[in-house]
């Protein structure tokens, strides 16, 4: 069986690729106008917020590989749960391709939570 740390890192990488593919498709489809979100100009605060949200999966790849197991599982479960809520909240009004990619990402996040909780349960048992 694959080491759980590797599994977490791979799942976070796959999630990030879903987000990036969505961004690329949004640009190529014409659904994106540089410097604007829904017709409103992007501010530095909005861009910083977007950067923070998008760097979290990248940081999670590294943390998944370096954290010790119980802490690793807790951090992965908490962050993946956050992304489940964040993505469900953000699905309103999205195009079909975005909904598909977010759904796949949600499945990856659910898998992360499942693996993390399963491991934590084995520690208790």
Q: Specify which residues 36 forms β-bridges with.
A: 41
What does the pLDDT read at residue 33?
A: 81
What does the pLDDT read at residue 122?
A: 93
> In the structure encoding, which two tokens stand for residue 29, read together?
């489809």
Domain coordinates in residue numbering, the chain: 4-124
What does the pLDDT read at residue 16?
A: 96
> In the structure encoding, which two tokens stand for residue 76, read together?
């992965």
What does the pLDDT read at residue 106?
A: 97
Phi, psi angle pair for 111, to nearest 5°: -65, -40
Is residue 83 within 8 Å of residue 105, measured between CB atoms?
A: yes
pLDDT block averages, 10 residues each, the chain of length 125: 93 96 89 81 92 96 97 98 94 90 97 97 89
Give the integer Cα–Cα distance in Å for 73 and 114.
10
pLDDT (tens digit per residue) in 60-87: 999 999 999 999 999 999 999 999 999 9
């Amino acid at each position: 069986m694959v080491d759980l740390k590797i599994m977490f890192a791979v799942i976070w990488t796959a999630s990030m690729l879903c987000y990036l593919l969505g961004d690329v498709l949004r640009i190529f489809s014409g659904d994106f106008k540089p410097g604007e979100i829904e017709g409103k100009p992007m501010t530095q605060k909005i861009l910083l917020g977007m950067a923070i949200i998008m760097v979290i999966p990248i940081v999670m790849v590294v943390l998944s590989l370096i954290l010790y197991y119980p802490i690793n599982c807790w951090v992965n479960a908490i962050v993946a749960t956050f992304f489940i809520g964040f993505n469900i909240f953000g699905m309103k009004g999205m195009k079909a391709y975005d909904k598909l990619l977010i759904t796949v990402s949600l499945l990856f996040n659910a898998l992360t939570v499942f693996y993390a909780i399963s491991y934590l349960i084995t520690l208790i048992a």
